[in-house]
Homo-oligomer: A and B are copies of this chain.
Amino acid sequence: MNFSKRITGMQSSPIRKLVPYAEAAKAQGKKVYHLNIGQPDIKTPPEFLDSIKNFAEDVIAYSTSHGSYELIDAMIGYYKGFNMTLQRKDLIVTNGGSEALLFAFQALCDPGDEVLVPEPFYANYNAFASSVNVKLVPITTKAKEGFHLPAKAEIMKKITPKTRSILFSNPGNPTGVIYTSEEIEMIADIALEKNIFVIADEVYREFVYDGLKYTSFGNIKRIEDRVIIIDSISKRYSACGARIGCILSRNDELMAQVMKLAQGRLCVPTLEQVGAVALYKTPKSYLDEVNKEYQGRRDILYSKMKQMPGVICEEPKGAFYVVANLPVDDAEKFVIWMLRDFHVNNETVMMAPAEGFYATPGLGKNEVRLAYVLKKEDLSKAMDIFKAGLAAYPGRV
């Protein structure tokens, strides 16, 4: 009784696979600061739970496969704020951005088909691609270039008859990159020339710092028939556990195909949709506050990183992650060592080894991804512990 190759060949989540080491550390009485996972500590707007508390039906019934119109209309209102005029048919509510991405892969790709993606990329892209036999083809980007894209010719070289799409996280997880409007237009050119879709994971849309201009693929009119936007309330409203997202496209035929997948899994949870409606009505000032808070955290993280000898990283400009190159033999060993063998006053730090964020073998081996999702005081303390650990680590190179 063998298992499928697709699953045995799938890597474990680099974000979650070391959790047992963190649990062991906690069992020993250590406090662990989690910089490994994008779980913000920001309060979820209370309207989420309040609206669920007011749910007055006797039966927790299926929602429609499309998603409740209340939620879809609330989402349409939100996108209007980004100059995107949408109709109900352009959106399907999903179980987080995760399911939206899975649906996009399934709708575009047969087994063996290829999707281009700049690396390092969000590690779970790998999980979804493997699970449906899609091959991710990396476009390598580099810390010293702030993880911006290579020249058009470099990207064109990667496109084969099997290429169905290019996938972007923008703002970038795990890199913190914000693509320039020139980069976005270059990708639009490629999508038109090569007749392929763009999958734009824009779940961090509000997390752009230093007043930088953000360009959404949803605003590039000339490719609106070939853009699929992946979105989620998880980070925007600090509601990761609600698992509400959406898939968005103006390509009606595509959405009709995706609806088959949505119908197969019946619906997204009814109560979570009720809560999400309320979140989309949160005043914009909430999001402005959150942006300010994260920019402050980014400043602390980056200023502390700059003080660590041998650490290479550029200032992240968006999302709430950074990939840093460390002077260590092996980043995974270092992360485990921090949890198992190191502490400062019985406190330590958990990070995510970055190798799992690359598709090219060998890359990322001495890199980690940090999520700056803790309040400033804790983040500052965590970074000091990280620095002390790095200085004391026996595998330092």
Contacts and interface: CB of A to CB of B under 8 A. Distances in A.
Interface string A35-70: 001011111100011001101001111111100000
B226 A3 contact: no
A196 B1 CA distance: 6
Given A106-B131, A239-B60, A1 B44 contact: no
A312 interface: no
A71 interface: no
B111 A133 contact: yes
A62 B267 contact: no
Contacts of A109: 4
Contacts of A388: none
Interface in A251-296: 253-254, 257-261, 263-272, 275
A271 B275 CA distance: 11
Contacts of A61: 39, 240-241
Interface stretch (A94-102, A143-151, A180-188, A328-336): A94-102
A108 interface: yes
A150 B60 CA distance: 38
A270 B271 CA distance: 11
Interface stretch (A10-18, A82-90, A314-322, A345-353): A10-18
Contacts of A225: 1
A260 B62 contact: no
A58 B39 contact: no
A380 interface: no
Contacts of A16: 65, 263
Contacts of A258: 7
Contacts of A266: 96, 98, 124, 240, 243
B37 A58 contact: no
A110 interface: yes
B128 A62 contact: no
B48 A60 contact: yes
Contact of A269 (B13, B43, B241, B267): B241
Interface in A5-26: 5-8, 10-13, 15-17, 19
A132 interface: yes
Contact of A261 (B48, B113, B127, B242): B127
A9 B265 CA distance: 17
Given A62-B37, A62-B39, A241-B61, A127 B270 contact: no
A238 B53 contact: no
A327 B149 CA distance: 64
A148 to B, nearest CB: 27
A133 to B, nearest CB: 6
A197 interface: yes
Contact of A113 (B4, B96, B240): B4
A360 interface: no
A235 to B, nearest CB: 11
A132 B4 CA distance: 12
A107 interface: yes
A195 interface: yes
B39 A264 contact: no
A263 B12 contact: yes
B128 A7 contact: no
9 contacts: A3-B253, A7-B258, A12-B263, A13-B260, A59-B238, A98-B264, A110-B133, A127-B261, A271-B272
6 closest Cβ pairs, A-B complex: A127-B264, A241-B270, A13-B263, A111-B111, A60-B241, A44-B60
Given A19-B64, A269-B269, 19 more contacts: A1-B196, A5-B110, A6-B110, A7-B257, A8-B257, A16-B263, A17-B263, A41-B59, A44-B59, A52-B53, A53-B53, A62-B240, A98-B264, A98-B266, A124-B264, A127-B264, A132-B132, A243-B267, A271-B275
